[in-house]
Amino acid sequence: MSKEQKITGNIQPPNKDLEILKQNFPNCFDKVGNLDFEKFKKQLSKNEINFSKESYGMDWLGKSYARLLATDETTTLLKEDETFNQKEKNKSSENLLIKGDNLEVLKHLSNAYYEKIKMIYIDPPYNTGSDGFVYADDRKFTIEELQELAGINEERAKRILDFTQSNSNSHSAWLTFMYPRLYIAHQLLKDSGLIFISIDDNEVSQLRILMDEIFGEENFLGLFIVNSSPSGIDYGHLAKTNDYALFYAKNIEFTETNFIEDENKKFSYSDKISGYNIAPLYNGNVAFNPQTRPNLFYPFYLNPKNKIEGDFYEISTEKKEEWIEVFPVISKKDGIQRVWRWGKPKSKDNINKEILGYKNNKGEYRIVQKNRLTSKMIRSLLLENIYSSRRGTGEIEELFKQKVFPYPKPTGLIKTFLEVGCNDGDTILDFFAGSGSTGDAVMQYNSKNEGCRKFILAQLPEKIDQKTSKTAYDFVKNELKVEEPTIFDITKERLIRASKKIEEENKEKDLTKQDLGFKVFETAPIWEDYNFESEELEKQTSLFDESKLTKEDIKALLVTWKTYDGISLTETIQETDLNGYTAHYSNEKLYLMDKGFTTKNLKVLLEKIDSDKSFNPSTIISFGYHFESKSLREISENIKSYANKKSIDIDFITRY
């Protein structure tokens, strides 16, 4: 059985929020898909949800434009560096380095990596006035288009377009730049995911409010003060020694954080609990209480007659006779009823393992989280030398024997965040990769712990100025033999050198299971006169000449489409021979990209569906420009009418 043929062209980030609304409140949408907000409000009011008439937030000139950019379709394709990726170390790697504007990169990742990322670390432009940040945008909207798309008046649309073309470095420009990137980043994080953002005084206040809007104020976990310049930088009236790092969760109810190792200190308690460091499970943040976080307020039940693991007591989330009911504490300092740090589902998963009952020296029963005695909860003051920018510079100089990158982040900072926010097998994203510190840190951390965390890095191919950055320019030009040196070339080379360094330092270890390679992709402009939005071949025949497309162009389109269809970039797509016609298959999706598909090939395709146990395409996607309309109808009708033996319900989609 098959569904009817579909025609699609748009490649843009999904609006999962809208999908959730439609699933849960279908009666609030009209027949063309518009939300009836008054009906929506009434339905929620029945559930005793009140709509606040007062709100607190931040507005700036480019905000409506930034929202548009967050959901606007991509303007690029994705290309694979096949030569590099087929090297022995890289061909099975699940690490990624992507060259391109990070907003475009994030949009390309938004389907295949939706809710797949466990941790994000970024070190964005600080907008100091001397760091070179200016807002640049190559999107071309008319005043009328922007009015309609952003829902604003003519005067504001004109002001926004003037502002986006002015190379501004104002707070508004910086916020317009950051908003869409953080919006998509939020979508990519798992529910248990975390984000760390390095920043300094110039934008920390604006970033905090922006993050509250995108991630939710309740998901703010803390602000780190990082001792980045121990000797101090002269700022006129003070010697500045620190930067900051904002710390947010995707969803506080599912948040998972780890204790960090403290090699210099041994923890001891009067209770003499051998081998463990304990922390209360309640949340100490005054903003969290039963009214603001009702899902984090529930009782545990403790069995005072059954000690397990030394001085710990058995607990349950289910009420049991003669067991003691234990709620989070009411603070003696402020009188506020606390809530737990963990939601009930996570508590159930860890009960009597990581969380247990405990009786303190005052005879009060508590619920605690246990960890090794040499570990501790991360502190908000990060003062050690491993966090200084001087350490980061030293790491670069050790790898390159010269200073080819200014103020790189030290791997020590990122490894600390990895220890807090990641477990084995997790994926870490950094879309302001810079020198590649995050990828280096992940590989180092994996080699130390025999782990398999994966990284995805994105870096703009920003040109290196020959005058202001002569050392870096000469290195890339002369040693790497790159005609037009860019920051991306340094990022890539650092990862290569960092990998070799780890191998050299761990010769006595078995590193065969370590992923010390990476794959490279890049964004490339969509072909001239090509438009993803075309609905019918006839509409574009006079505009786009497909005969000028090369084999490499078609490969780029295939990579772009497979990622859009939810297939990860590191996942291999198989070539499938249909009696002389090469199709491409992965994850139950079959792509017909080339010309020359005939009735003979269609017959082989249908037979293969019946006979090949490993071949089960639920979606067949064709590149419409390489098929005649008659051929497309034939394929669609045959697939629709063919009763395959596996009873697979097959979609046939034509894209232009």
Give per-residue pLDDT as tens, 639-653: 988 888 888 999 999
**Does 630 reside within a domain?**
yes
Give how far Cα 469 sits from Cα of 135, 391, 472, 474, 536, Å: 21, 20, 6, 9, 50
| pLDDT of amino acid 513 | 86
Domain check: are 289 and 427 in the same one? Answer: no
Residue 518 phi, psi dihedral angles, 5° rounding: -165, 155
| pLDDT of amino acid 528 | 74
**Does 520 reside within a domain?**
no
> Between 110 and 508, whose confidence is greater?
110
**Does 222 reside within a domain?**
yes
Q: Final residue of a domain: which of 344, 372, 400?
A: 372
Instruction: Scan for tokens 């030569």, then name that residue.
Output: 83
**Range from 69-73, 174-178, 195-199, 612-616 carrying the lowest mean pLDDT:** 69-73
Domain check: are 123 and 216 in the same one? Answer: yes
Share of the chain above pLDDT 90, in %: 62
**Does 287 reside within a domain?**
yes
- Given a cut of 70, whether residue 51 has pLDDT beyond it is no
Confidence class of residue 53 from pLDDT cuts 50, 70 and 90?
Answer: low
**Range from 226-230, 329-333, 582-586 carrying the lowest mean pLDDT:** 329-333
**Range from 7-11, 296-300, 449-453, 462-466 carrying the lowest mean pLDDT:** 7-11
Distance CA 349, CA 448 (A): 28
CB 250 within 8 A of CB 186: yes
Is the Cα dihedral 413, 417, 420, 423 positive or negative?
negative
Residues forming beta bridges with residue 621, ordered by sequence position: 591, 653
pLDDT in tens, 377-398: 899 999 999 999 999 999 999 9
Q: Final residue of a domain: which of 353, 372, 391?
A: 372
Distance CA 176, CA 174 (A): 5
Q: Final residue of a domain: which of 496, 518, 539?
A: 496
- Report residue 156 CA to chain centroid gap: 32
Burial classification of residue 188, based on how many CB atoms lie within 10 Å of its CB (0-12 exposed, 13-18 middle, 19 or more buried): buried
Instruction: Scan for tokens 């970024």, then name that residue.
Output: 122
| pLDDT of amino acid 164 | 81
Alpha helices, DSSP H only, in 189-244?
204-215
3-class secondary structure, 307: strand
| pLDDT of amino acid 278 | 82
Strand order in 355-359's β-sheet?
276-280, 365-372, 355-359, 312-316, 300-308, 324-326
**Does 579 reside within a domain?**
yes
- Given a cut of 70, whether residue 54 has pLDDT beyond it is no
Distance CA 441, CA 430 (A): 12
> Between 362 and 245, whose confidence is greater?
245
> Between 648 and 376, whose confidence is greater?
648
Distance CA 76, CA 101 (A): 10
Domain check: are 359 and 393 in the same one? Answer: no
Distance CA 634, CA 359 (A): 74
Q: State the CATH number of the domain containing residue 422.
A: 3.40.50.150
- Report residue 76 CA to chain centroid gap: 19
**Range from 157-161, 218-222, 493-497 carrying the lowest mean pLDDT:** 157-161
**Does 139 reside within a domain?**
no
pLDDT in tens, 105-137: 999 999 999 999 999 999 999 988 877 887 877
Domain check: are 384 and 366 in the same one? Answer: no
Question: 193-221 b/e with 16+ CB inside 10 Å = b?
Answer: bbbbbbbbebbbebbbebbbebbeebbbb
Instruction: Scan for tokens 């409140």, then name that residue.
Output: 25
**Does 600 reside within a domain?**
yes
Domain check: are 565 and 590 in the same one? Answer: yes
3-class secondary structure, 619: strand
Name the nearest CA neighbour of 73 among 620, 526, 537.
Answer: 526
Alpha helices, DSSP H only, in 513-628?
537-540, 551-564, 599-611
Number of domains making up the chain: 3
Instruction: Please state at what angle helix 171-188 crosses helix 204-215, rounded to 10 degrees.
Output: 40
Within 8 A by CB and 6+ apart from 582, the residues are 575, 576, 594
- Given a cut of 90, whether residue 276 has pLDDT beyond it is no
Q: Which domain holds residue 458?
A: 97-134+169-257+379-496
- Given a cut of 60, whether residue 206 has pLDDT beyond it is yes
* 528-537 mean pLDDT: 55
pLDDT in tens, 167-189: 888 899 999 999 999 999 999 99
Domain check: are 482 and 570 in the same one? Answer: no
**Does 327 reside within a domain?**
yes
Average pLDDT over all residues of the chain:
88
- Given a cut of 90, whether residue 376 has pLDDT beyond it is no
| pLDDT of amino acid 132 | 81
- Given a cut of 50, whether residue 535 has pLDDT beyond it is no
| pLDDT of amino acid 529 | 67
Share of the chain above pLDDT 70, in %: 91
Domain check: are 385 and 477 in the same one? Answer: yes
Residues forming beta bridges with residue 116, ordered by sequence position: none
Residue 231 is encoded by which pair of tokens? Answer: 């000797």
Residues forming beta bridges with residue 245, ordered by sequence position: 198, 224
Domain check: are 395 and 478 in the same one? Answer: yes
- Given a cut of 90, whether residue 153 has pLDDT beyond it is no
| pLDDT of amino acid 531 | 60
Highest mean pLDDT out of 23-27, 254-258, 454-458? 454-458
Domain check: are 321 and 387 in the same one? Answer: no
| pLDDT of amino acid 49 | 61
Domain check: are 107 and 130 in the same one? Answer: yes
Domain check: are 190 and 336 in the same one? Answer: no
Domain check: are 113 and 240 in the same one? Answer: yes
Residue 376 phi, psi dihedral angles, 5° rounding: -150, 160
Instruction: Scan for tokens 């948040």, then name that residue.
Output: 255
